[in-house]
Structure formats: structure tokens, C-alpha cells
Structure 1
Amino acid sequence: MEFRVLGTVEARRDGRRIPLSGAKLHTVLAALLLAREEVVSDERLSRLLWGWTPPATMSAQIYTYVSRLRKMLGDEIRIDRRPPGYAMAVGHSTVDVTEFERLDHEGRAALAEGDFDAAAELLRAALEQWNGLPFANATEHLADAEAPRLMEARVAALEHRVTADLALGRHEQITMELTGLVAEFPLRERIRSQLMTALCRSGRRADAIHLFHHGRAVLAEELGVDPGEELQATYQALLDGRLDRQPPAVPAQRAVRPAPKSGRRHAAPEMLPPDTADFTGRARELDLVCRALAPDAADRPRRVLVTGMAGLGKTTLAVHAAHRCRRDFPDGQLFADLRAPDGSPQHPGRVLLHLLRALDAPDDGAGADDLDELVRRYRALTRGRRLLS
């Protein structure tokens, strides 16, 4: 069977649509699909069906919807009652949102490795899973709860696909598409930067300059802020004449980084603590961290700060995200506990020495007590390397 939620909610068997009637039945199906065989509680189903004003017969109505789904979907789909709710097993069926996320992840990995042809193809295939606004025939409560997350993932996939297309020299082919995207998302600075790049490389430098100033005015009027670092950098490259340079030919596989000037090769450090196999409950935060760590077109350093009260699982979240994104950092992953076993803060010098040893720095004792020297050595060893720390 085939299930769709990236557009109207549908179930298809052998290419034929199974007739499901009513927004509420589509809502129950979509909620169970999004849970990926995990339990969806009666309370959550009620919230997605009726918002904050459920009927007195809430449980009976949910039972009725589930029973109707069981009958319509047949024996190959199992919907089990597991207190406090229901769980659905789809077996070998395909779900468009799962396919989208798989292709998107593979496309980003190819992009990070410099395989722009594969990245463009994979990300284009991911975007082809979409057929309109998600949950178009479900309740507004479900759309309000889940659609923004999926729409953000779609636009991010678009941005990454455009990055691959620009690297392949397809600026003229995508200019029209980017113009429409800027009109649709006027506050997304990366899309504006990409259109500026495409215009400049197509010989339309004046249009690219106008696009930047228009974007600056929109940001000031709507949000009261100046353009961010990426948009400013693109504008400066435009003024300097660096933006109109055609991208160099790139081999399909990621190029091997040159050895340091000393001629000594450094093994990639792998300092991450073990991953948590049963990580649950932080899907939104995990997605935000992973997207923030994803490489951009300029491959600039990214910084992510995870904050919160003690005991909320910040370190677990960070470590899990690091394991998920480690392919984007082929030169290694660094980890340091900033607190001593007794709970007191670690001295910065001890932390830096720990990281320098992981980076295979000579342990000759020179400058071990000089914090500035340790910082200088750390910067020298990490410069130009794609490290996660």
C-alpha cells in the first residue's frame, strides 16, 4: 500500500485510492502514520480532532474512526489498541513523508561530500514526494500542529537542492524558480542570496544589487533587523566581483584534504560518547540542531547553543545530534566535558590540552601553562578542517 500526507491525506492500494470520507477520518490516519508505529494517545487524537473542546463521546468516536480505518485498510495494515491510545504498523507499505526524509538525508550527505549531481537528483526526488499543502483534507488542528514543521523541512530541502544546482552551473535554469521562491518567502535570506548568485552569474549584476536592497528594506520593515551574515557576505562578494565566478568543476567524490604543511597526517579524532539507542521525545529540537549543523554553500563554521534547565537532557540531545550529523564532519568529532567530576568548572587549559592530544598535537609540554599559546595551537590545528566540536 501507499500512504500520503504531503498534500491530501490518502491511502492507495495497487495505485487506486481507497475512499476515506471526512476530515476526521483522514486526521486519525495521518496522526497514526506520523507516529511511525508508536502509540498515539487518545488525548492527542482528541486534540488533533477537536482542539480544546472535545465532545463528551470522545472515546467512542475515536474507537469508531479506528474501526472504520481497520475495515477500509484491510489485513495488511495493523491498528492495535495499546493504552493509552492506538498504534499502526504499515509493514512494507510506503509513506511519502518517510521517503521524503530519507531522500532528503541522503541528498544532504551527498552535498556535504561534494557529489553535487547526486545531491541534486536525490533532493529533487525528495521534493517530488510533495503534492500540495500537508493534511489538506484533515482538520485544521492537525495542520496547525504538524504542517509548519514539514513545510520548513521542504523549504530547507529546496535550499539545499538549489545549492547543488548552483554548484553545477545551472544558474540560468533556476533563476525563474528562485524568483518565485523569493516572492513566496521574502524573509528567507538564503533563498535571496541564491537568487542574487544566479542573477550575477547570468550577467544581471544590477538586478542582484537591487534584490539585496529590496531584501534589506523588507527585513527592516517586517522585523526591524538588518540582513544576516550570509546575505551580507553574498552582497560583499557581489561588490568585490567574486560572486560572478563560475563554480569550478568538482569530481563526484569528495576531494581528499591536503595534509598539514608539516607533512604529518593527522588521524581524525572520534571522541563522541556512545549514542543513545532509545532516544525519544525531542524530535523537533533534534531536527532544529541537525539543520543548524548542516553545511551551507560557503561551508562556513556553524555554532549551535543548546540551553535549558539542569536534567532536561541537553547533553543527550547534543550527542545524539552529533552522531546523526557526523558524516558532515569527515575530519573528526571532538568532545569535552566542561565540568570536573566534583561538579566544578574545568580549567580552560586542561580542556584545550585534552583536545590538542586528540588532534595528535606533539605533547612536549611546551606552553602547557600558557592559555594564549594553547588557544593559538588549537586554532592552527583546526583551521581549514571540517570538525565537529
Structure 2
Amino acid sequence: MQVSILGPVEACVGGGPAPLRRGRQQLLLAALALHPRVVVPLHQLVGTLWPGELPVDPENALHQLVSQLRRALRPADGAIATAAGGYRLDVEDDAVDARCFERELGEARAALAEERWSAAAAAASRALGLWRGPAIGGVAEGALASHAIALEGRRALAELVLADARLAIGQPETVVTQLGPIVAEQPHDEELWSRFLTALARTGRPAEALHRYEDLCARLAEDLGVTPGPVLRDLHGRLRGEGDQSPLEQVAPTQAPPAQPPPAQAPPAQPPPAQPPPAGRP
């Protein structure tokens, strides 16, 4: 059985798609797939699946939902195991796309740190190729929504690693194509913008890069009431020819923060929401 949560929640059993029902059946599978081979407590699953008003008998409603999911996953229904105080998805990491993504991202970051640019770009491309849409189908609520936000943050990190590797190789035009649609959808992510503007400058379009920087400044001020942070301000100065370093120079990629290791045991009932990096300074 293969479980996919980097997009619409799906399962593949025996070479074909499992007939999952939209809604809580998909969310239950996603909640278990986030922590394969780890018991997820009953109370946590109930809170995840019913973040608002609870059913009259929450545990019974959960047991019925598990039974329905098992029927949908036949003949792999045994993959959902009953354990003391909860349920567990008994599949290997390679059976869950989110875990495969983390493995590829780890390889990409290791290669980037060792300045193996082509290997880093290849691994990051494989990691991003596993995505089919918004994490957990874009329908998660409550605690599960926090996990979806965290997954999207890891996706953005993979985009950064890929952009850094491509810039180091000398493929700025590819980075412009890669990041153009992304910065349009994520106008407050300054790390992505710094790579995008650098790529524009390296393709011989510094004037366009300056214009896009001014547009970004206006958007940050209007949406968040902030100005660009130090990374973008420094890049702006280099675009204007200030300082000793030009954005056209091949510089070592900025290293992203360390990866968060996968949980060794069941996560807390209500994990704190992922905090996005600050867009700039007031």
C-alpha cells in the first residue's frame, strides 16, 4: 500500500486507487500516515477529526470511521492496527510520500552543504516531484492544519535548496522560471524573493529585479506594515551597485535551518502551529 498526503489524500492498494471517501476518512488516513508505525492516541484522533462540535459518542464514532477506512483499504486493511489507547499505521516510510520527500530533501541539503551542486539539484527536484497539490488536500482543520502548514514550509525549503543549487551551477534562467509563479503566490517569503531577484540580475535583467523589489516593498508595507529584512536590503544595495559584491557573482548558497527530525513517538494532542519566518522589520 502507498499513501499520499502531499496533495489530495490518496491510497494505492494492489496497483489501483483505494475508494476513499472525501472528508474525515481521508483525514483519518492522513493523521495516521504522518506518523507511520507510531500509535496515535484516541483522544488526539478525535480532536483532529472533530475540531469543532464533537459527536455524541466520540470514541464510537472514531471506531466506526476506522472500520470504514479498513474496508476501503482491502486487502491492505491490516495496515491499520489497533493498539493500546489508539491506532497505528503499519507501513514502512517508503510507503508514505511525505517520508520519501523528507529523505530526498535530506539528501539534497547534505549535497548542498558539500557543494555537490548537481546532486543537490537532482535530489531537490525528486523531492518536489512528489507534490501533487496543497498538503493534505488543502482541507485539514485544527491540529492537522498545523501539520499541513509545516509540510508546506518544508516544500518551500526544498524550493530554496533547488534554487541555490541551480544558481551555483550557473542556471539563473531556470531559477527565474522555477520561482516566478511561487513568489507570485507567496509574496511575503523573503528567502524565495532573494533567490528570484538574484536570478533575474544574473540573467542580465537588473533593472527588472530593481522594479520587482520596489513592488515587493509596496506589497509588504500594504499587507504587513513592514519593510524588507536585511537579506533583501543587502541585495537591493548590490543591485544598485553599492558595496563590494555584485549579485552577478557566484556566491555560496545560503544554508537553510536544520531539518526537524521525524517524531520518535506519538506527537502531542495539539501541536503548536508552525511559525513562518518574519517578513521584515517594522
TM-score over 0.5 for the pair? yes
* Structure 2 match to 1:355: none
Does structure 2 conserve the Cα–Cα contact (< 8 Å) formed by 1:39 and 1:86? yes
Alpha-carbon distance in structure 2 between the residues aligned to 1:221 and 1:9: 36
Q: Partner residue of 1:230?
A: 231
Tell me, in whole angstroms, the C-alpha distance in 1 between the residues paired with 2:137 and 2:77. Answer: 26
Once the two structures are superposed, residues 269-289 of structure 1 have per-residue CA deviations (whole angstroms, 9 ceiling, x without a partner) of xxxxxxxx968858x78x98x
Deviation of 1:169 after TM superposition, in Å, equals 1.0
Bigger RCO of structures 1 and 2 (CA < 8 A, at least 6 apart): 2
Q: 1:168 to 1:93 in 2, by over 3 A?
A: closer
Asked whether the 8 Å contact 2:198–2:248 carries over to 1, the reply is no
SS in 2 for 1:27: helix
State the shift of 1:137 in Å: 7.7
Deviates more, 1:63-72 or 1:81-90: 63-72
Q: Verify the 8 A CA contact 1:7 1:135 in the aligned structure 2.
A: yes
Q: CA deviation at 1:77?
A: 4.1
Identify the match of residue 247 of structure 1 among 231, 247, 250: 250
Counterpart Cα distance in 2 of 1:76 and 1:37: 15
In the TM superposition, residue 133 of structure 1 has moved relative to its aligned partner by 1.2
Change (3 A) 1:114 1:202: same
Instruction: Show CA shifts across 1:354-373 (max 9, x none).
Output: xxxxxxxxxxxxxxxxxxxx
Distance change (3 Å), C-alpha of 1:95 and 1:77 = farther
1:12 maps to a residue whose letter is C
Give the letter aligned to residue 70 of structure 2.
R
Q: Provide TM-score, normalisation by structure 1.
A: 0.61
* 1:224 CA displacement: 2.2
1: CA distance between counterparts of 2:210 and 2:148? 34
* Counterpart for residue 85 of structure 2: 84
Distance 1:233 1:45 in 2: 46
Which stretches in structure 2 are left out of the alignment for 5+ residues? 253-262, 278-282
Q: Distance in 2 between matches of 1:137 and 1:208?
A: 32
- Contact in 2 for aligned 1:77/1:90 (Cα 8 Å): no
Opposite residue 214 of structure 1, the aligned amino acid is: D
Partners of 1:207 and 1:164 lie apart in 2 by: 23
Report the alpha carbon displacement of residue 22 of structure 1 after superposing the two structures with TM: 3.4
Unaligned runs of 5+ in 1: 250-276, 293-389
Worse overlay, 70-79 or 52-61: 70-79
Secondary structure of 2:3 counterpart: strand
Contact 1:33-1:88 at 8 Å conserved across structures:
yes
User: How many Å separate the matches in 1 of 2:56 and 2:20?
Assistant: 24
- Once the two structures are superposed, residues 35-90 of structure 1 have per-residue CA deviations (whole angstroms, 9 ceiling, x without a partner) of 22212122121122221311112211211222233334335743232232111211
For residues 188 and 93 of structure 2, what CA distance do their matches in structure 1 show? 40
Relative to the length of structure 2, the TM-score reads 0.82
Contact 2:104 2:126 in 1 (8 A): yes
2:108 is matched with which residue?
A: 107
Q: Per the alignment, in what secondary structure is the counterpart of residue 131 of structure 1?
A: coil
**2:127 maps to which residue?**
126
1:8-32 CA deviation, whole Å, 9 max, x = no partner?
1111024310112231111111111
The correspondence of residues 361-376 of structure 1 with structure 2, limited to 5 A, is: none
- Alignment root-mean-square deviation, CA: 3.0
Asked if residue 221 in structure 1 is aligned to residue 222 in structure 2, the reply is yes
In structure 2, what is the Cα distance between the partners aligned to 1:211 and 1:160?
Answer: 22
Partner AA of 1:49 in structure 2: L
Shift of 1:121: 0.5
Q: Distance in 1 between matches of 2:130 and 2:231?
A: 29
CA contact (8 A) 2:140 2:148 kept: no
Alignment partners' CA distance in 1, 2:94 and 2:206: 49
Contact 2:6 2:131 in 1 (8 A): yes
* Counterpart mapping for 1:303-382 below 5 A: none
Deviations 1:215-234 (A, max 9, x none): 22222222222211111121
Residue identity (%): 33
Match of residue 28 from structure 1: 28
Higher Rg of the two aligned structures: 1
Tell me which residue corresponds to 1:314: none
